[in-house]
Amino acid sequence: MTDACTVGFIGFGNMGQAIARGLVEAGTLDGSQIVACAAHWDKLVESTGAIGATALRDAKEVVDAADIVVVAIKPHQIETVIKPVVADLAGADKFVVSIAAGWTLDRFDTMMGEMSELIHLQCTIPNTPMAVGKGVLVTETDNTLTDAQRAEFERIFGSIALVERVDGAHMDIAMCIAGCAPAFTDMYLEALGDAGVKYGLQRATAYRLAAKMIEGVGALYLATGTHPGAMKDAVCSPGGTTIRGVASLEESAFRGSVIRAVDAIQRG
C-alpha cells in the first residue's frame, strides 16, 4: 500500500468528519484520497466538499473505491449496512477500521461468519480531537491485519492521534477515558472560564488560558511520565495559593466525582 491509498468512510457524521478533516489538515491525505457515503445526501455533499473529498451513494461504492474502509456508522446500524458488503470487504488489497463503540473483533467475526477469515479488520474507538491532530485512538490489540497493513494503519492514524492498544475486555473503559471524558474536560474548561469572568477576565481570554493550560498539562505528562500527583505537588508551595484551591476541590470530592461519572457510564 502506498501514500496514494484511498480511505473510504461508511458513515460521515461528526466523528468520521473529525478524522477525515484531521488527516487532511495534517497533510497525511489529500482530500481527493477520501470518499464517503452517508444517509443524507445533501449534507454529505456539503461535508465532503469542504475538504475536497468525494461523496458516494452507498456502502458498496465506498468499499469498491477504498483501500482502507472506515466503518463510521452508529453501532446499531452495522449489521444492516455492513452485512450486504461483507464479501466485497474480503481480500488482501484492503482492510477495515471500525470506530463503532461496543464492536470488538469477536463480535465482527460472529456477524461476518465464515467470511471473517478473509477480511482484515482493526477495531478502534476514536475521539474528536483527532480533527486537530491531538486525538486518541483506542485500538484493540487483537486484529487480523497483515504486518504491512498494521504499519500503514499506524502511519495514517498515528499522524493525528496517540494509538493506544488495549485488549478487547478493556475497550469500553478505555473508550470512556478517551472518548467520553472530553465532555468532562469541556465542562472543566467552561467552569474555569466562568471563574475568570467572575473576576473580570474576558471570556475568550479565560477560555484560551484554560485550554492551553489543559493542553500543556497533558503534553508535560506525555513527555516526562511524571506521576500526576507529583506534578500537582510541584505547583503547590507550602502555605501558598494553589494548595488552598486543591484543598477546596478535595472537600468537594473532585476526584470522587470524576470516578463516579466513569462508573455511571460503565453501568450503562
- Looking at the chain, list the stretches that DSSP marks H as alpha helix, in order from N- to C-terminal side: 14-25, 41-49, 59-65, 78-82, 86-89, 105-112, 147-157, 171-175, 181-198, 203-224, 228-235, 241-251, 254-267
10 is an annotated ligand-binding site residue: yes
For the chain, domain boundaries: 7-166, 175-267
Q: Is the pLDDT score of 84 beyond 60? A: yes
What's the mean pLDDT in 30-54? 97
Q: Report whether pLDDT(31) > 70.
A: yes
Ramachandran bin of 225, using left for φ above 0, alpha for ψ from -120 to 50, beta for the remaining angles: left
Is the pLDDT score of 2 beyond 50? no
* 198 labeled part of a ligand binding site: no
Tell me how far CA of residue 227 lies from CA of 2, 221, 231, in angstroms.
40, 8, 6
**Residue 73, marked binder:** yes
Work out the average pLDDT over 78-89: 96
Residue 13 in marked binding region: yes
Annotated binding residue at 12?
yes
pLDDT digits (tens, 9 = 90+) for 144-187: 999 999 999 999 999 999 999 999 999 999 999 999 999 999 99
Give the closest residue to 125 by CA, choosing from 111, 104, 146.
Answer: 104
Is 265 annotated to bind a ligand? Reply is no
Check if the beta carbon of residue 7 is closer than 8 Å to that of residue 67.
yes
Question: Could you report the per-residue pLDDT of 207-237, keeping only the tens digit for each?
Answer: 999 999 999 999 999 999 999 999 999 999 9
Is pLDDT at 265 greater than 80 in this prediction? yes
- Distance (Å, whole) CA 190 – CA 196: 10
Q: Is 74 annotated as a binding residue?
A: yes
Grid coordinates representing 120? 482484515
User: Under CATH, which number does the domain 175-267 receive?
Assistant: 1.10.3730.10
The answer to whether 94 is annotated as binding is: no
Is it true that 7-166 and 175-267 share their CATH fold? no
What pTM did the predictor assign? 0.90
Residue in 51, 40, 46 with CA at minimum distance from that of residue 11:
40
Q: What is the mean pLDDT of the chain?
A: 96
Amino acid 190 reads: E
CATH architecture of 7-166: 3-Layer(aba) Sandwich (3.40)
User: Residue 1: its pLDDT value, please?
Assistant: 43
11 a known binding residue?
Answer: yes
pLDDT at position 202:
98
